[in-house]
Amino acid sequence: MKNMKTACIHSISYEHLNRQAFLAELIEKLQAVPTEKYSYTIYHEQGTGKVLSVEIEPGFEVELLQIQWQEALDINTQPALSNDKWGITICNDYVVDTNEHLYTPNAYPYCLMMSSAMTQQQISIPANTPFLSFSIIFSQEWIAQNIIANIKPEAAEVLNAIIATNQAVWQIDNIDLDLNRILDTLLYEDLYQSSTKLLFYRTALDLTLLFFKKLINKSIFAPVQHFKKHDIQKIHQVNDWILEDLSKPCPTIEELSRSVGMSAAKFKALYKAVFNTSVYNYHLSERLEQSCKYLQSGQYTINEVAYMVGFNYPSSFSRIFKKTYGQSPNQFIGHYDSRLC
């Protein structure tokens, strides 16, 4: 019998936030097969990929999709009848069309989406482009029991109002510095191993708690400014350059903006959009974090550490350290707590 050519796949469809329906589509159309615990590998002439899908506990699920397809691939989701499930998804460049609203980021390395089960959306993955998405799916009941039940009444009221709606909810934003750090930790791990469930639980819980905290404080899902992708890359390059030697003072905004050919106003706005903080605050937090490591090592005096992280006066270092961590460098050495740094 002759081998039949595998059909080209241009789209897959399933009910939004329905993990089992998503896996069924992958297995049927993209020829995904179980290869490890929680893991599926896609074998198809049009492309390759991997999927990790884990139910951490009832009402709390995690999914990681990594795929590269030879032709553009559309992932369509159909709305559920109620918002019994909610999802947070972090993914790289894509084009998404949801409820007649087209959004094409292509401005940030990763974007953050929140959606309810009643949302209808389409994610278009460009041809021959590595695509990654990390999704956390939780039931309305899980949110009520694990988030709303453990926060202050005024915050609970805000969150209750969001999840009680009986209409589609979909919002998108760039990820900030805190979310990016958690994501980097996740991506540098060897995910396709037996310890995946524990890793996912820790990472997903960190992301979920941080996400809801920011959502309640309204520090995410503000109107997104659209910047060019090469400008975003310049900001990351500048940031890497700043962090190469923390013993040196942070360059001024004028120096940094000139180095990348931007106005000072544009540089400040773009840096704030990418890292959700100012250059000075980011630089200071990195210096203090590095100082914790130096102090923990026991190899340096407090004065030496102060100079090593760019403080001209040890007294200034001690004052800012105590203001940030609630104890002096001397107290930190005597009572080291890894949760502080």
280 secondary structure, DSSP code: H
> Which of 51 and 206 is assigned the larger pLDDT?
51
Q: Which pLDDT score, from 0 to 100, does residue 276 have? A: 67
73-90 average pLDDT score: 90
What's domain 229-334's architecture? Answer: Orthogonal Bundle (1.10)
Q: d(Cα 328, Cα 323) in Å, to the nearest integer?
A: 8
Highest mean pLDDT of the ranges 147-156, 160-169, 192-201, 296-305: 296-305
106-124 average pLDDT score: 77
Q: Is pLDDT at 58 greater than 60 in this prediction?
A: yes
Q: d(Cα 120, Cα 122) in Å, to the nearest integer?
A: 7
> pTM of the full predicted structure?
0.62
Task: Strand 111-116: give its sheet, edge to edge.
Answer: 32-36, 39-44, 47-57, 60-69, 131-139, 85-91, 111-116, 170-174
Q: Is pLDDT at 101 greater than 90 in this prediction?
A: no
> Which of 159 and 118 is assigned the larger pLDDT?
118
Query: For 289-298, b where at least 16 C-beta lie within 10 A, e where not — what string?
Result: ebbbebbeee
Where along the chain do its domains lie?
Answer: 11-216, 229-334
Q: Which pLDDT score, from 0 to 100, does residue 218 have? A: 63
CA distances from 178 to 68, 262, 274 (A): 28, 25, 11
- Of 129, 139, 130, 124, the C-alpha closest to 77 is 124
Question: Which pairing describes strands 11-15 and 32-36: parallel, antiparallel, or unpaired?
Answer: unpaired
Q: Is CATH 3.40.50.300 the classification given to domain 11-216?
A: no
